[in-house]
């Protein structure tokens, strides 16, 4: 798996949380952005695909206006995080397995803010400030095994929220998880196990602390 494959998979995204009046929800709907809103706190959450960001696509002007207004009206700057998912399982219908786990740069598990149970789907969501590590396993029944450990780092490039700088680095790639750095052997090994589990329906690498 190459960095562009990871970014276009939809399992790693950029999330922006900001204050917004409820009357502006139609703007987000018009922009066809993945979003949800918590009226009790005036908090809006917008999810953006990192694949578009790395292609130097700028944020829609309407969204930039909302982000700037958030800072001006509520005196709270928008908070940007990486939204990364633990996900996957083995798909017997096409003989393909996929597994992804998320960890810190030291290899330690992270605490999710959401846990799902969809078979072979998304099982845990992690919000991290600006950088994280994603361990990925892709397998086929013809013994093709592709494993990878990726460093994902992002940052806004200016204060007007016009662009985002995203960097995905291949930390390690191979077919034997025990050949990676010792700190990532457990999360990568669990991603590999996940990709071999039919109807996998829960997270395998996380902490509740």
For residue 96, being part of any structural domain is answered with yes
| pLDDT in the model for residue 54 | 56
Domain-embedded: residue 181 = yes
Answer yes or no: are the C-beta atoms of 109 and 206 closer than 8 Å. yes
Q: What does the alpha-carbon distance between residue 124 and residue 121 come to, in Å, rounded to a whole number?
A: 10
| Count of domains for the chain | 2
Structure tokens at 111: 């605490």
Beta strand 96-103 with 145-156 is unpaired
90 and 126 fall within a common domain: yes
Average pLDDT of the residues in 127-141 = 90
Domain shared by 7 and 22, yes or no: no
Residue 66: in which H helix or E strand, if any? helix 61-74
Confirm whether 207 is domain-assigned: no
98 vs 8: which has the higher pLDDT: 98
Q: Say if CB 164 and CB 56 are below 8 A apart.
A: no
d(C-alpha 209, C-alpha 207), whole Å: 6
Cα(106)–Cα(99) distance, rounded to whole angstroms? 20
Q: What pLDDT digit, counting tens, does each position of 58-97 carry?
A: 678 888 889 888 988 998 888 888 899 999 999 999 889 9
Q: Are residues 48 and 87 in the same domain?
A: no
Look at residue 51 and tell me whether its pLDDT is greater than 70: no
Cβ distance 133 to 107 under 8 Å? yes
How far apart CA 184 and CA 149 sit, in angstroms, is: 8
Average pLDDT score over the chain: 87
User: Are residues 113 and 127 in contact, defined by beta-carbon separation less than 8 angstroms?
Assistant: yes
The confidence score (pLDDT) of residue 169 equals: 87
Exposure on the CB side of residue 58, measured as CA atoms within 13 A: 10
Least confident range of 11-25, 35-49, 51-65, 137-151: 51-65
Contact 136, 150 (CB under 8 A): yes
Assigned token pair, 187 = 């999360």
Q: Say if residue 15's pLDDT is above 70.
A: yes
Structural domain harbouring 68: 12-80
Domain presence at residue 175: yes
CA dist., res. 19 & res. 167, Å (int)? 27
Question: Where a domain ends, among 31, 52, 80?
Answer: 80
Q: Note whether 168 and 111 are same-domain residues.
A: yes
User: Quick one: pLDDT band at residue 9, thresholds 50, 70, 90?
Assistant: confident
Q: Are residues 160 and 73 part of one domain?
A: no
Tokens at residue 186, please?
Answer: 């457990």
In this structure, the answer to whether residues 40 and 66 fall within a common structural domain is yes
- The dihedrals phi and psi of 108, each to the nearest 5 degrees, come to -75, 150
- At 162, is the pLDDT very low, low, confident or very high (cuts 50, 70, 90)? low
Q: Domain boundary residue among 80, 100, 125?
A: 80
Element (H, E) at 82: strand 79-91
């Amino acid at each position: 798996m190459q960095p562009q494959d990871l970014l276009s998979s939809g399992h790693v995204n950029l999330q922006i949380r900001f204050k917004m009046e409820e009357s502006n929800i139609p703007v987000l709907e018009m922009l066809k952005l993945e979003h949800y809103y918590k009226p009790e706190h005036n908090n809006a959450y917008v999810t953006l695909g990192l694949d578009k960001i790395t292609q130097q696509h700028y944020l829609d002007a309407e969204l930039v206006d909302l982000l700037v207004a958030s800072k001006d009206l509520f005196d709270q700057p928008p908070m940007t995080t990486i939204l990364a998912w633990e996900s996957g399982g083995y798909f017997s219908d096409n003989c393909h397995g996929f597994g992804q786990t998320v960890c810190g740069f030291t290899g330690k598990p992270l605490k999710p803010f959401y846990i799902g149970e969809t078979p072979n789907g998304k099982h845990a969501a992690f919000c991290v400030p600006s950088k994280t590590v994603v361990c990925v396993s892709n397998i086929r029944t013809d013994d093709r095994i592709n494993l990878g450990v990726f460093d994902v780092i992002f940052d806004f490039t200016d204060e007007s929220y016009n662009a985002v700088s995203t960097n995905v680095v291949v930390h390690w790639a191979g077919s034997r998880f025990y050949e990676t750095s010792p700190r990532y052997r457990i999360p990568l090994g669990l991603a590999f196990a996940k990709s071999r589990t039919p109807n996998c329906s829960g997270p395998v690498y996380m902490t509740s602390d």
